[in-house]
Amino acid sequence: METFSLKTKVISGPGAIEALGRLGCRRVLLVADPYFQKTDVPDKLVSATGADFAFFYEVKPDPTVELAAKGTALVQDFKPDTVVALGGGSAMDCAKAMVYFSGQTIRFVAIPSTSGSGSEVTDFAILTHDGVKHPLVDEALTPDVAILDGNLLNALPKTLIADAGYDIVAHAVESFVATGAGAISRSLAKDAFSCAFTMLPASFAGQTSVRQSVHNAATMAGIAFSQSGLGLCHALSHALGGQFHVPHGRLNAILLPAVVEANCAANAQYAELARGAGLGGSVDTLAVRNLRNALLQLRKELRLPQTLSQAGIEPRQVQEKADTIVKAALEDPCCATNPVRPTAPTVQKILRQVM
């Protein structure tokens, strides 16, 4: 039996931010990535709605509990009817936590400006505290509206296309094999994987015409993993990200091929994904090999690092914190839906492999 819940209204297409004007907002708190302070997008949102606005531009990558608490005070003070989050996963997660902790009922509109996290449709918000990334998971965190406007993506830096793009791939692969997956979530995960896999290299090369499709794929993968859960790649990525502040998608790129190898008990599901995405493979082991090769090839094409050391984390730093990292990974909620129950030796082995 599969339970699939739908909440977020998704409005997608170039110029879609204009749709904010049709939601009847009167008092809006805009929580935006500082990048947008130098653009005309906030002004466009103000003129589309004609509402009273307050602005919170203090979001930093991997938002902390303290930052969310500071923003919560602004929510309680300003009393908006709508919070609009404009930015990447960090801005959306920070804004979600601000509304959640305020205890108020406020419409939440997410406008992603990167194609990756899927936070615009998920019931997750990831906050960092004392060097550990904690996924907060609650249905109340699911946005009411997601606006996917490809026009926001024309100036995306290459590194951001690659980092966030590999996050889509990791969401799709992990959600396809997660213990909570069902026919509907798998279908979304498979299409998101195929789209990201085929279009990311073109987007990375500067072809802006494919970016709306990649943006939609990020949301589809987000819907899929919100239903099914994720796995060990994300659990370890959260544990390492909290310690070393390497971009989340970049860590996933380093970890995912090794996690697919470690989860060999789930080969039948990985093979189904590989065949569904047109990667072929007459028997499961061949199909999984094709999938792993495709993941390695994509990582190379997007010029992402292959090891933690190439990402600037020295093996000595990992060894010193290995116990903390392994413990945090095993306690991360994403571990619970990994297709194989991970053990400490498995996680240690993956860490050694990717160092």
Residue 212 touches which of Fe ion, ligand NAD, none (Cβ within 5-8 Å per kind): none
Q: Is 65 exposed, middle or buried (0-12, 13-18, 19+ CB in 10 A)?
A: middle
Q: How far is the CB of 226 from ligand NAD (least distance, A)?
A: 7
For Fe ion, the binding residue among 163, 167, 191, 332 (CB under 5 A) is 167
Q: Measured from the CB atom, is 91 or 354 closer to ligand NAD? A: 91
Q: Measured from the CB atom, is 248 or 289 closer to ligand NAD? A: 248
Residue 126 touches which of Fe ion, ligand NAD, none (Cβ within 5-8 Å per kind): ligand NAD
> Which of the stretches 142-150, 164-172, 205-213, 322-330 binds Fe ion when contact is defined by CB under 5 A?
164-172
Q: How far is the CB of 225 from Fe ion (least distance, A)?
A: 8
Structure letter (DSSP) for residue 120? G
Residue 203 touches which of Fe ion, ligand NAD, none (Cβ within 5-8 Å per kind): none
Q: Measured from the CB atom, is 197 or 279 closer to ligand NAD? A: 197
Q: Measured from the CB atom, is 49 or 90 closer to Fe ion? A: 90
Q: Measured from the CB atom, is 5 or 282 closer to ligand NAD? A: 5
> Which of the stretches 41-49, 166-174, 182-190, 331-339 binds Fe ion when contact is defined by CB under 5 A?
166-174
Residue 325 touches which of ligand NAD, Fe ion, none (Cβ within 5-8 Å per kind): none
Q: How far is the CB of 115 from ligand NAD (least distance, A)?
A: 8
Q: How far is the CB of 120 from Fe ion (least distance, A)?
A: 13
CA distance readout (Å), 315 to 76, 236, 296, 311, 355? 45, 16, 21, 11, 6
Q: Measured from the CB atom, is 236 or 279 closer to ligand NAD? A: 236
In the block, tokens 């994904």 appear at 273
Query: Nearest-CA neighbor of 124 among 326, 324, 325, 334?
Result: 334
Q: Measured from the CB atom, is 28 or 125 closer to ligand NAD? A: 125
134: helix, coil or strand? Answer: strand
Q: How far is the CB of 112 from ligand NAD (least distance, A)?
A: 7
Q: Which residues bind ligand NAD (CB under 6 A)?
A: 33, 35, 61-62, 87-91, 93, 113-114, 116-119, 122, 124-126, 133, 152, 155-157, 160, 163-164, 167, 248-249
| d(C-alpha 142, C-alpha 146), whole Å | 10
94: helix, coil or strand? Answer: helix
Q: Measured from the CB atom, is 123 or 167 closer to Fe ion? A: 167
Query: Nearest-CA neighbor of 32 among 20, 45, 42, 22?
Result: 42
Q: Is 339 exposed, middle or buried (0-12, 13-18, 19+ CB in 10 A)?
A: buried
Residues whose CB falls within 8 Å of the CB of residue 245, separated by 6 or more in sequence, listed in order: 61, 62
Enter the tokens of residue 326.
């392994």
Q: How far is the CB of 284 from ligand NAD (least distance, A)?
A: 29
Exposure b/e, 96-135, CB count within 10 A at least 16 = b: bbbbbbbeeebbbbbbbbbbbbbbbbbbbbbbbeeebbbb
- Report the sign of the C-alpha dihedral through residues 57, 58, 61, 65, in that order: negative
57: helix, coil or strand? Answer: coil
Q: How far is the CB of 221 from ligand NAD (least distance, A)?
A: 9
> In what helix (H) or strand (E) does residue 265 lie, and over which residues does it extend?
none
SS3 content of the chain, % helix, strand, coil (to 5): 60, 10, 25
Determine, following the binding rule CB under 5 A, whether residue 174 of this chain makes contact with Fe ion: no
Q: How far is the CB of 199 from ligand NAD (least distance, A)?
A: 17
Residue 124 touches which of Fe ion, ligand NAD, none (Cβ within 5-8 Å per kind): ligand NAD
Q: Which residue is nearest to Fe ion (CB)?
A: 167
Contact residues for Fe ion, defined by CB under 5 A: 167
